[in-house]
Amino acid sequence: MADRTERQARATIHAGGEWLEAVSGATRDILDPADARPFAVVAEGDEKDAERAVAAARQAFDHGPWPGTPVAERAALLRRVAGLLVRDRERLGLLESRDAGKTAEEGRVDIDCVADAFRYFADLVAAEAPGRVVDAGSPDVHSVVVHEPVGVCALITPWNYPLLQASWKIAPALAAGNTFVIKPSEITPMTTIALLELLTEAGLPDGVANLVTGPGHTVGARLAEHPGVDLVSFTGGLASGTKVAQAAAPTVKKVALELGGKNPNVVFADACATEEGFDTAVDQALNAAFIHSGQVCSAGGRLIVEESVRDRFVAELARRAQRIRLGRGTEDGVECGPLVSEQQRAKVEAYVASALAEGAVLRCGGRRPEPAPERPESGYFYEPTVLDACHREMRVVREEVFGPVLTVETFRTEEEAVLLANDTEYGLAGAVWTADAGRARRVAGRLRHGTVWINDFHPYLPQAEWGGFGRSGTGRELGPAGLAEYRETKHVYQNLAPKPVRWFAG
């Protein structure tokens, strides 16, 4: 966006191959959460902007070339996009850091993962068979099951991983031959805008990719209910996801929901029997809870540790959490950035206050840090916080905090550990740490979560489906299931020697 004029910078709505201002002319300042100062201006779209974007996507799907483009050509375009992402890795990583508050290194890693997603779905569709032959029991019948694109897809993405979450939707949608309208979070839209520019550069036909910058209650709501939309894919909070499902119900469109998590990190004493094992488990507990300031749907914000090692484990965890270097994500040496907004920080503060009122013991953090050159007072910073002596009746344990807050619960038996880990309305992800291979398999098998890590936390594979149980959502992203979300299945039955059936007289 840096090479645009001021007027062009406000034209961040993309419809039918054109960059447009909002119909209303409204704009929004995009703030750097490290200092709360605006660094960009974008169009503030509304229902009218959603209408013209859907119309462009509908026209491109019904009358454009993309749905009928050979799979090999679609795959080649996705690979070109991956190459452009690699080319622009530094620029996009820094932009993601400034937009979302994460460290620059996290931003760069995100761009690597985005490129991986485009390559994976390119390879997946390129390697597929054209259809699955069904034996009809007759040599005169040819029967095949084929996959076709759904149509126009509305893609609604969250603020914590703007470009990564966009890629998990855009790459399979394009691979399957769909057109789409994407609505990024209104507070972190910058890298999604940049990705749309790269799609154009890669040669995607006009109207296939469309974007509306604007709030969820107007743009998102209209996309979810729009009769011209065939599928809506939403990643975000439970309350908003429920509204999306309700809005989509009257038109019976396909709905994929990736919602919240309250993820257990279960540590058995035998995982800490050696100094190396203890250090690794503590290090990974820090990673699980505090990467991107805990603003991760899969964050391991619930430490469930065996009672016999609890005191030593929590003491070391708190000691190291206090040493995490907070600051602007683009500064050298910074390990954790700010929260994304003042609203998010206030929410985290309210959760910590309620936990302390309910009897939790503060081991570290629990406050805003002192200002520093790399940490302006105006930024939305909050110290990594460890709350000990927590129990399942506390709001901070039951509800998704989405901030740098780690709660500690203890157990004595394997059965109790499983019961605690599964005692949640969510079921997105979880981990188990143990040196006992049999126990690892038993506990992993009993955890009701969409992803279970054993002796690790946070890695994901593009080839593996990502999604949750319970209130963590109904969709699946990545892997073959992620591609299937963006397809319809058609059975084509061909009678090679048709004959009269004579069911009726005449």
The active-site residue out of 153, 186, 272, 297 is: 297
> With 50 as the cut, is the pLDDT of residue 254 above it?
yes
The whole-angstrom separation of Cα 60 and Cα 460 is 33
Residue range 455-478: average pLDDT? 93
> With 80 as the cut, is the pLDDT of residue 326 above it?
yes
pTM to 2 decimal places: 0.95
Per residue in 343-357, pLDDT tens?
Answer: 999 999 999 999 999
The residues, any chain, with a CB within 8 Å of residue 462's CB and separated by 6 or more, are 116, 117, 120, 478, 479
Q: What pLDDT was estimated at residue 9?
A: 64
Per residue in 327-341, pLDDT tens?
Answer: 999 999 999 999 999
H helix intervals, 294-398: 307-321, 342-357, 395-398
Q: Average model confidence (pLDDT) for the chain?
A: 96
Q: Confidence class of residue 501 from pLDDT cuts 50, 70 and 90?
A: confident
Q: What pLDDT was estimated at residue 506?
A: 64
Q: What pLDDT was estimated at residue 130?
A: 87
Q: Confidence class of residue 502 from pLDDT cuts 50, 70 and 90?
A: confident
Q: What pLDDT was estimated at residue 10?
A: 85
Residue range 261-275: average pLDDT? 98
Specify the residue for token string 């004493």: 269
Crossing angle of helices 71-87 and 190-201, rounded to 10°: 130
> With 50 as the cut, is the pLDDT of residue 263 above it?
yes
Across the beta sheet with 487-495, the strand order is 132-134, 141-149, 487-495
Region for residue 478 given its phi and psi (left: phi exceeds 0; alpha: psi -120 to 50; beta: otherwise): left
Q: What pLDDT was estimated at residue 503?
A: 87
> With 90 as the cut, is the pLDDT of residue 491 above it?
yes
Q: How many Cβ atoms from other residues are within 10 Å of residue 277's Cβ?
A: 16
- Active-site residue, 258 included: yes
Residue range 273-298: average pLDDT? 97
> With 50 as the cut, is the pLDDT of residue 2 above it?
no
The whole-angstrom separation of Cα 229 and Cα 253 is 7
Per residue in 43-101, pLDDT tens?
Answer: 999 999 999 999 999 999 999 999 999 999 999 999 999 999 999 999 999 999 999 99
The active-site residue out of 258, 306, 409, 465 is: 258
> With 50 as the cut, is the pLDDT of residue 1 above it?
no
Percent of the chain whose predicted confidence (pLDDT) is above 70? 98
> With 70 as the cut, is the pLDDT of residue 240 above it?
yes
- Active-site residue, 297 included: yes
